[in-house]
């Protein structure tokens, strides 16, 4: 709703909608709902601001074992395919104390795994420091690395994940914090988007193919047992067949544990949408299939490596497809199914992996 063309579409096509609100007025929903009911008038509450952090909003959590915790909102990167900076405003970080208190509370309530969320998590407090925006001093937290280390100390929390970091902001102190914090999972999601330097420049990603690969190399050297996952967009405007080969080349070299693959789609209001050299759908699909084939072959290979190994698995519940087996995830986020007593739900168990099935592994206690 933060995009005008969408609001216009709602108003013209769905005239029965009573309230339209945007990302910056989400916290006012109860007030807006009450107003609409009282006045029986249609209400539009969309403001265009850089954005604020609102604390204390109620959160409905689906799981009692894993929780996501937002550490920052907005984005300053303006990748040319992405609408997020326009609809979520500029980067701003939550106060360290509020994050720590929320996680301590989750730990007291039995949560075991925390995923820290933000459009650019590893630039946590960076904007505040650059622009001299004061933030509350708390347990010495002044960066993403120090935040990770403090969360690592919270009793009860057994796993810490984070999405998404930006390769350009992956500083040495963050690498060191991941390596030295025993609860921080050694699966890092490092969005690549494209493997060709010219395409990356057009995407406004601010790193080259070589910089990405040398970051991966450095991380692999410093973080024992590191695995990586990534996001890739195929068919960005102007991408040639040869340039797409660079993406395949990076995938072959890095050997990602998981790849979230996307076919480029135009978003109104982004620079990518205005680019003249859009790739025909058929071509985009051909490239996507080629990437998918490579990724699936690599996944099969990587899954095979798990067979016979012992893995710590956080048990999440009964399998959706088969109530007779339990399901959980490894540190590297692989789904594992196994036979076990329901009392294990919410606990960390050691499993021996006995077989692999592309999207999941099978284990036994």
Residue with Cβ nearer ligand SF4 (118 or 340): 118
Alpha carbon distance 194, 209 (integer Å): 8
Q: Tell me which of 69, 79, 200, 353 binds ligand SF4, using CB under 6 A.
A: 79
Residue with Cβ nearer ligand SF4 (75 or 315): 75
Q: Which two tokens stand for residue 296?
A: 């699936």
Residue with Cβ nearer ligand SF4 (82 or 160): 82
- How many residues line the site for ligand SF4 (CB under 6 A)? 10
Cβ-count burial 191-226 (b if 16+ within 10 Å, e if not): bbbbbbbebbebbebebebeebbebbeebeeebeeb
Residue with the two structure tokens 């102190």:
173
- In the complex, least distance from residue 171 CB atom to ligand SF4, rounded to whole angstroms: 16
Instruction: Report yes or no: 158 and 113 within 8 Å, Cβ to Cβ.
Output: yes
DSSP 120-175: TGGGTTHHHHHTT------TT--SHHHHHHHHHT-TT--EEEEE---GGG--HHHH
Instruction: Report yes or no: 336 and 362 within 8 Å, Cβ to Cβ.
Output: yes
Q: Tell me which of 85, 269, 271, 346 binds ligand SF4, using CB under 6 A.
A: 85
Q: Tell me which of 71, 82, 99, 188 binds ligand SF4, using CB under 6 A.
A: 82
Chain residues 94-123 in contact with ligand SF4, contact rule CB under 6 A: 119-120
DSSP 273-302: HH-S-PPPHHHHHHHHHHHHHHHHHHHHHH
Is residue 78 close enough to count as binding ligand SF4 by CB under 6 A? yes
Residue with Cβ nearer ligand SF4 (2 or 303): 2
Residue with Cβ nearer ligand SF4 (123 or 311): 123
- In the complex, least distance from residue 307 CB atom to ligand SF4, rounded to whole angstroms: 35
Chain residues 143-202 in contact with ligand SF4, contact rule CB under 6 A: 166
Is residue 77 close enough to count as binding ligand SF4 by CB under 6 A? yes
- Residues at the interface with ligand SF4 (CB under 6 A): 75, 77-79, 82, 84-85, 119-120, 166
């Amino acid at each position: 709703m933060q995009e005008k063309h969408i609001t216009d579409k709602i108003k013209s096509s769905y005239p029965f909608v009573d309230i339209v609100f945007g990302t910056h007025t989400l916290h006012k929903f109860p007030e807006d709902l009450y107003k609409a009911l009282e006045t029986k008038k249609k209400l539009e509450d969309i403001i265009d601001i850089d954005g604020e952090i609102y604390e204390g909003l109620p959160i409905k959590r689906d799981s009692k074992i894993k929780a996501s915790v937002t550490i920052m909102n907005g984005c300053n990167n303006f990748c040319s395919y992405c609408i997020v900076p326009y609809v979520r405003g500029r980067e701003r970080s939550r106060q360290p104390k509020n994050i720590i208190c929320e996680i301590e509370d989750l730990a007291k309530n039995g949560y075991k795994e925390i995923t820290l969320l933000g459009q650019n998590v590893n630039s946590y407090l960076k904007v505040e420091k650059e622009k001299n925006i004061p933030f509350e001093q708390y347990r010495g937290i002044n960066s993403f690395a120090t935040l990770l280390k403090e969360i690592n100390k919270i009793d009860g929390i057994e796993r810490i994940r984070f999405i998404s970091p930006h390769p350009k902001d992956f500083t040495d102190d963050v690498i060191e914090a991941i390596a030295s914090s025993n609860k921080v999972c050694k699966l890092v999601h490092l969005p690549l988007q494209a493997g060709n330097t010219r395409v990356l420049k057009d995407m406004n990603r601010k790193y080259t193919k070589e910089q990405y690969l040398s970051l991966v190399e450095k991380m692999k050297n410093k973080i024992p047992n590191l695995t990586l996952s990534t996001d890739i967009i195929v068919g960005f405007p102007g991408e040639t067949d040869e340039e797409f080969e660079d993406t395949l080349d990076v995938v072959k070299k890095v050997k990602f544990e998981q790849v979230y693959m996307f076919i480029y789609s135009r978003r109104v209001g982004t620079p990518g949408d205005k680019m003249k050299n859009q790739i025909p759908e058929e071509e985009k699909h051909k490239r996507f299939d080629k990437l998918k084939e490579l990724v699936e072959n690599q996944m099969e290979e990587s899954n095979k490596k798990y067979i016979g190994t012992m893995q710590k698995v956080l048990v999440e519940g009964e399998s959706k497809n088969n109530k007779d087996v339990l399901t959980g995830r490894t540190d590297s986020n692989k789904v594992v199914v196994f036979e076990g007593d329901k009392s294990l739900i919410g606990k960390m168990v050691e499993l021996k992996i006995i077989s692999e099935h592309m999207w999941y592994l099978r284990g036994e206690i």
